A and B are shown apart, each in its own frame.
Chain A
Amino acid sequence: MYKILEARNLAGPNYEMIVEAPRVAARCLPGQFIIVKLDEQAERIPLTITDYDREKGTIEIVYQPVGESTSKFTELKAGDSFMDFVGPLGRPSDLCESEDPEAIEALKKKKIVFVAGGVGAAPIYPQAKWLHEHGVECDVIIGARNKELVLLEDRMKEVANVYVTTDDGSYGRSGMVTKCLEDLIAEGHTYDHCVCIGPMIMMKFLCLTTKKYGIHTVVSMNPIMVDGTGMCGACRVTVGGEVKFACVDGPEFDGHEVDFDLAMKRQTMYKTQEGEAFLAWKEGSTHHGGCGECGGEK
């Protein structure tokens, strides 16, 4: 069992947990993820690592509930446990892989911008933090639909130059992350490396923008997964015409090579079943199906 030490609601629908997992905390690096399984009957759910404490042996995860399983997580309190917690999975971010002084010097010469969309700020934070700890400066654009959904702004400011933008202009700059990036470039910022993590559609359009400016762009894919060790192939994504498994070959890929349209279609594979399960859970015994819409009568 993996004990939950802290659990709380962050901005809007975003939640945070700190979990005891010494083996994961001892080795994980920014860019990697974990898989949790709540109890015997639960699904295996891949989640992002937001922060880690090697000495305390803890992992911080930030997530946004989307279906039945992650919605159940929001009810967990400090003292509860996950039955299973496995990781670190995936390859670490290219930026944070080497402590070699030469590699760090090379990073210091790069002009790096991170672009976070919504809950995408969670996997970006550890990368920005790692770079900061190694004396590498970077910019971070945090994008959200509105003020309430802006995630990890304060912590991010401790480690990077942060630009917040909201779609509705309720906080920070106004507009999507693509506009924010173009504005920053117009204001005189130059970038040669971009890491973009967020909803698939946002990554797609941001990549179109960075391509225009010739900025090398890395994206982090979060497709459907089962085991997370390369065994099932559910997470296959097409990158540069080749099939890759996000769990072992990724999750980060060259954003200019990823086939986002295909990835977005694959994302919808279990949508109907997920929705049905979520309704059945939320409405409990009051959910009888029979509406002819939800399939609950099966």
Chain B
Amino acid sequence: MAEAKNMLTRVPVREQDPKVRAANFEEVCLGYNEEEAVAESQRCLHCKNAKCVQGCPVNINIPEFVGAVKEKDFGKAYDIISESSSLPAVCGRVCPQETQCEGRCIRGIKGDAVSIGKLERFVADWAKEHGMKMKCTAKQTGRKVAVIGAGPSGLTCAGDLAKMGYDVTIFEALHKAGGVLVYGIPEFRLPKDKVVAKEVENVQCLGVKIETNVIIGRSVTIEELMTKEGFEAVFIGSGAGLPMFMNIPGEQAKGVFSANEYLTRNNLMKAYRDDYDTPIVHGKKVVVVGGGNVAMDAARTALRLGAQTHIVYRRSEAELPARAEEVHHAKEEGIQFDLLTNPVEILADENDNVRGIRCIRMELGEPDASGRRRPQPIEGSEFEIECDTVIMSLGTRPNPLISSTTYGLDVNKKLCIVATEEEGKTSLEGVYAGGDAVTGAATVILAMGAGKKAARGIDAYLRSKD
């Protein structure tokens, strides 16, 4: 029987062998089975004043669901999670638990924190296998709410509003619902059919309608939704979709991509599969610039498409913004990290194809505004890395399509929509916003948290109109 060797260490989770998985797109982490989950659940101390719950952006009642796992009542565990989260199978896989729930776990002071993420994933997968659906029992209010964007914040907000009895329609610009869960995060980290599509169906089960191929600001405006289509409130969860570039020489050469393009081709358009039409460049030597989760995703995708892959990041390992697990997995799979290194120029051949990238070594100086030590170039330390593909993963900013077509909607200087922290209220009456469209690029779970708060805000607003 699987059990923790001692209560200080977590039950290890089974993963695909790094050598095998480096050549396939199957999920890396295989997750706990029943036995392993129950064993891990026994490590929970069921703290009265549970710090883990405070660390969770949607405040899942963690000790209670873990307790249900311990009793082998997995259905009950699912119901407890569902009260707070609409996307548990996703969050169990992509949340940065080490800085949230698990980061606060008392077990973590001496030994490993309880593997809350893996337990959440187990419960959500178990519920799917056993055909459990989220329940919607609220009385219909007959009021229509529009949600813009079928990503994490939109799906959460829509799900919560449906549970409160609202008639919710999500408008999605792409041809598939899921937002970053379908275009950004790769199959090997978050399976699309098995997990994402099921979570979307779950939200639809609550009565939420999803209209794809509608670009708010182009196909229809927020004002038209409210004046012509009868929506009494709108939630904007349009994400931070616009990729940033470095503006260094050579960036327009053939073979330079934004991580968004590379990942969208591979994940949304499934370019890695022969039976799909969208092309993707199979580089032999790929350099990914950046150190976040998206950079890890792009690098590990390139590796699986057959490339020798480097990550170039200007700070040191301690500052890598990616989840610890992603960095660990990337290293296991053979990705080389060139830390304290910054590109200065992309080199191209006579046909304008990428042939290399010129970088400069960096050192860390005084802390900057973000509290991290500022990287500074070391003079005369330039060197070249030979490569045929460069993927820029430098972050994203919000798409101005909505803010520029919605009169009276306030944005800040980074073009992020201004919305209140507590309930996502914007400068326009009845219009709420949350997720990356408000904060700039952040995490799935923070976007979900914002979607939840906005759902409460919208509910309070619509009630006040009675």
Q: Please give the residue numbers on chain A whose beta carbons come within 8 Å of chain B beta carbons, in ascending order.
A: 23-24, 26-27, 37, 41-44, 68-69, 83-89, 226-227, 229-234, 236, 238, 243, 245, 248, 262, 265-266, 268-270, 273-274, 277
Out of B218, B247, B265, name the residue touching A89 (CB < 8 Å): B218
Out of A26, A37, A42, A232, name the residue touching B243 (CB < 8 Å): A232
Bits for B205-244, please: 1 = Cβ < 8 Å to A, else 0.
0000000111100111000000000000000000001110
Q: A87: which B residues are within 8 A, CB to CB?
A: 215, 218-219
Known: A27-B220, A86-B173, A227-B174. A262 touches B252 (CB 8 A): yes
Contact A274 B279 (CB under 8 A): yes
Q: B270: which A residues are within 8 A, CB to CB?
A: 41
Known: A227-B174, A231-B183, A248-B401. A86 touches B215 (CB 8 A): yes
Q: Which of B256-264, B286-294, B315-323 makes up part of the contact surface?
A: B256-264
Out of B174, B243, B276, name the residue touching A233 (CB < 8 Å): B243
Out of A43, A230, A270, name the residue touching B269 (CB < 8 Å): A43
Contact A234 B218 (CB under 8 A): no
Q: For the complex, what is the distance from the CA of A231 to the CA of B436, rounded to whole Å? A: 13
Q: For the complex, what is the distance from the CA of A277 to the CA of B252, rounded to whole Å? A: 25
Select the residue from B214, B251, B252, B400 with max chain A CB neighbours within 10 A.
Answer: B252
Q: B265: which A residues are within 8 A, CB to CB?
A: 226, 232
| Interface pairs (19), CB distance under 8 Å | A23-B213, A23-B214, A23-B219, A23-B220, A44-B175, A44-B269, A69-B277, A86-B219, A89-B215, A226-B261, A226-B269, A227-B264, A231-B260, A231-B264, A232-B261, A243-B245, A265-B254, A266-B252, A270-B281
Q: A277: which B residues are within 8 A, CB to CB?
A: 277, 279
Chain A, residue nearest B217 (CB): A229
Q: B264: which A residues are within 8 A, CB to CB?
A: 226-227, 231-232
Contact A270 B279 (CB under 8 A): yes
Q: For the complex, what is the distance from the CA of A194 to the CA of B223, rounded to whole Å? A: 34
Is residue B352 within 8 Å, beta carbon to beta carbon, of the partner chain? yes
Tier of interface size on chain B: 35 or more
Select the residue from B218, B264, B400 with max chain A CB neighbours within 10 A.
Answer: B218
Contact B247 A229 (CB under 8 A): no
Q: For the complex, what is the distance from the CA of A231 to the CA of B279, rounded to whole Å? A: 17
Q: A68: which B residues are within 8 A, CB to CB?
A: 277
Q: A69: which B residues are within 8 A, CB to CB?
A: 277
Is residue B308 within 8 Å, beta carbon to beta carbon, of the partner chain? no
How far apart are A214's CB and chain B's nearest CB, in angstroms? 29
Q: B175: which A residues are within 8 A, CB to CB?
A: 37, 44, 83-84, 86
How far apart are B276's CB and chain A's nearest CB, in angstroms? 5
Contact A231 B399 (CB under 8 A): yes
Contact A231 B241 (CB under 8 A): yes
Bits for B146-189, please: 1 = Cβ < 8 Å to A, else 0.
00000000000000000000000000011100000001000000
6 pairs of A and B residues whose beta carbons are closest in the complex: A232-B261, A86-B213, A84-B175, A233-B258, A231-B241, A273-B279
Given contacts A231-B242, A266-B254, 6 further A-B contacts (CB under 8 A): A43-B277, A229-B215, A231-B264, A232-B258, A233-B260, A274-B279
Q: For the complex, what is the distance from the CA of A265 to the CA of B254, rounded to whole Å? A: 8
Q: For the complex, what is the distance from the CA of A87 to the CA of B219, rounded to whole Å? A: 6
Is residue B140 within 8 Å, beta carbon to beta carbon, of the partner chain? no
Is residue B466 within 8 Å, beta carbon to beta carbon, of the partner chain? no
Q: For the complex, what is the distance from the CA of A201 to the CA of B242, rounded to whole Å? A: 29
Is residue B278 within 8 Å, beta carbon to beta carbon, of the partner chain? yes
Chain A, residue nearest B228 (CB): A26
Contact B252 A43 (CB under 8 A): no
Q: A229: which B residues are within 8 A, CB to CB?
A: 173-174, 215, 241, 399, 401
Contact B254 A269 (CB under 8 A): yes
Chain A, residue nearest B348 (CB): A265
Is residue B422 within 8 Å, beta carbon to beta carbon, of the partner chain? no
Is residue B275 within 8 Å, beta carbon to beta carbon, of the partner chain? yes
Contact B243 A27 (CB under 8 A): no
Q: B275: which A residues are within 8 A, CB to CB?
A: 41
